[in-house]
Amino acid sequence: MAAAQRIVIDNCAIATVDAEDTEYASGHLVLAGNRIESLGAGPAPDGLENVARRIDAAGHLATPGLVNTHHHFYQWITRGLATDHNLFDWLVALYPTWARIDEPMVRAAARGSLAMMARGGVTTAMDHHYVFPHGSGDLSGAIIGAARDMGVRFTLARGSMDRSEKDGGLPPDFAVETLEDALAATEETVRTHHDPSSDAMTQVAVAPCSPFSVSTELLRRGAELARRLGVRLHTHGSETVEEEKFCHELFGMGPTDYFESTGWLGEDVWMAHCVHMNDSDIAAFARTRTGVAHCPSSNARLAAGIARVPDLLAAGVPVGLGVDGTASNESGELHTELRNALLVNRLGAHREAALNARQALRLGTYGGARVLGRADEIGSLEPGKLADLVLWRMDTLAHSSIADPVAALVLGAAAPVTASFVNGRQIVENGRLLTADEDEIARSARAEAQRLARIAGRD
């Protein structure tokens, strides 16, 4: 076989986010095919063969690509609605609209969500999609296809709901699947799309939506299905005080105890939010290595509260960052969540000792990789790992007077992305996508948002 072509990146600051938090004030990276071949201080070695491209990255910071651990792509076309609601009221207001989505809408929304993240440094994305109206088309295929075309590494969390209003849940009756249909469709999605290989671009997780939209049987059998198929599990947990009350009233226990009773704690599980957790809950997550997707902007938008991230990290719980759906985080960006995670958590009990800039960067990179079960492959810049990395420009007006590039990235304005690589392939250049037409994506998303509004009677 022909030797892999190399890309050499020189003269940049590097934050590896490896186990020692190794950093270089001025260093180099060598990419060979879809892997990081080498990196270190100073210029790249002389005499490298098969060099297809050299990049002078002076004035830049290289980091691992950002890893998004929680999102709902379809919400891209329902942004700016129910802006002053808490979670339960927000869901009641929006479920009737969401229940009318179809394949073209979902494709347009997925492309918009992915484009916004990718141009802001996300190299691994995930989507928790749980709304499957009857006759709406191949929604999972549309989402996966959008990620493939964008060139982003991707996990589809195939969601489901079977507890509607008539059963004491929140979704309208016409917005849910039956138990058997949900399990069958989830298994088919895994068998069709999941790639278990180490350099996979597409993976699938089993992801019933939440305790208040899913039956106990669906949770139990969903966990059994995931473990039989060898894939991960994802759901929402402990997001609000209303959810805590709901679980106690319906199940006689809090969310964490309920999840444990249904097989939903374990190192193959990660949950979104986990805001309202007591010491016993945190200990259970630590004991079982259950992961957490921290979504600070969405939690603030819906007035859910401040997750105990410093306590989770101190206990050894894997924690990553999530955008969450863009109907509760209208920016749709993950790189701004680095800053928001640090700032929001400093409003909590630990104050200025809650998180520092490097911990925030770790949440958005290695922490996310760990939550998705891919820390051996992505999340840090190390020889042999997949070539998913970002070059952030740090010499512009927004950042040039901040000496520490990591502090500049986390605490400063959103940094421009000069280049983003996924699997060794560049997908962003100077803040613009190389794999898709952003203007066309914007037009399509607007048209589908307007069509949904007409169908739902909101225009």
Find tokens 């059963």 and name the residue: 167
Domain boundaries for CATH 2.30.40.10 within the chain? 4-62+379-431
pLDDT in tens, 195-227: 999 999 999 999 999 998 999 999 999 999 999
Each as own residue / partner, the long-range contacts of residues 440-443 (CB below 8 Å, 24 or more positions apart, any chain) are 441/108, 441/111, 441/112, 441/115, 442/112
**Mean pLDDT, to the nearest integer, of 412-423?**
97
| DSSP-derived secondary structure for 161-178 | ----GGGT-SS-GGG---
pLDDT for the residue numbered 150: 98
pLDDT in tens, 293-314: 999 999 999 999 999 999 999 9
Indicate if the pLDDT at residue 2 is higher than 90. Answer: no
> What is the C-alpha end-to-end distance of the chain, expressed in Å?
58
Q: Tell me phi and psi for residue 146, to 5 degrees.
A: -65, -45
pLDDT for the residue numbered 169: 82
Rounded CA gap, 350 and 347, in Å? 8
Indicate if the pLDDT at residue 1 is higher than 60. Answer: no
Looking at the chain, the whole-number percentage of residues with pLDDT higher than 90 is 94
**Mean pLDDT, to the nearest integer, of 80-84?**
97
The tokens describing 25, both together, are 């004030």
pLDDT in tens, 354-365: 999 999 999 999
* Nearest in space to 302 (alpha carbons), one of 278, 287, 324, 283: 324
Domain boundaries for CATH 3.20.20.140 within the chain? 64-370
pLDDT for the residue numbered 390: 99
Q: Which fold has domain 4-62+379-431?
A: Urease, subunit C; domain 1 (2.30.40)
Instruction: Give, as one character, the DSSP assignment of residue 353.
Output: G
Q: Are 319 and 363 in contact (CB under 8 A)?
A: yes
Q: Is the pTM of this model over 0.75?
A: yes
The tokens describing 291, both together, are 């992961």
Rounded CA gap, 159 and 132, in Å? 9
Helices 179-193/139-150 angle, 10° precision: 30
Q: Tell me phi and psi for residue 444, to 5 degrees.
A: -65, -45
Q: Kindly provide the residue ranges of all beta strands, DSSP E only, lying in 23-108, ordered along the sequence.
A: 23-32, 35-41, 51-56, 60-64, 66-67
Q: Tell me phi and psi for residue 159, to 5 degrees.
A: -85, 180
pLDDT band at 174 (very low <50, low <70, confident <90, very high): confident
Q: Given this structure, which CATH class describes domain 64-370?
A: alpha beta
Rounded CA gap, 210 and 159, in Å? 9
Indicate if the pLDDT at residue 459 is higher than 80. Answer: no
Pairing assessment for the beta strands 122-129 and 66-67 based on DSSP bridges: parallel
Rounded CA gap, 296 and 294, in Å? 6
**Mean pLDDT, to the nearest integer, of 367-379?**
98
Instruction: Give, as one character, the DSSP assignment of residue 132.
Output: -
Q: Tell me phi and psi for residue 256, to 5 degrees.
A: -65, -45
Residue type, 129: H
* Nearest in space to 19 (alpha carbons), one of 394, 381, 421, 435: 381
pLDDT band at 445 (very low <50, low <70, confident <90, very high): very high
Q: Are 124 and 154 in contact (CB under 8 A)?
A: yes
Residue 122, C-beta contacts closer than 8 angstroms, at least 6 positions apart? 65, 66, 67, 68, 152, 334, 335
pLDDT for the residue numbered 172: 81
pLDDT for the residue numbered 168: 83
Rounded CA gap, 139 and 208, in Å? 16
* Nearest in space to 199 (alpha carbons), one of 5, 3, 419, 385: 385
pLDDT band at 414 (very low <50, low <70, confident <90, very high): very high
Find tokens 């989402």 and name the residue: 143
Find tokens 């304005």 and name the residue: 413
pLDDT in tens, 107-138: 999 999 999 999 999 999 999 999 999 899 99
pLDDT in tens, 269-300: 999 999 999 999 999 999 999 999 999 999 99
Q: 159 in helix, strand or coil?
A: strand
Rounded CA gap, 373 and 319, in Å? 12
User: Please, what is the average pLDDT of the chain?
Assistant: 96
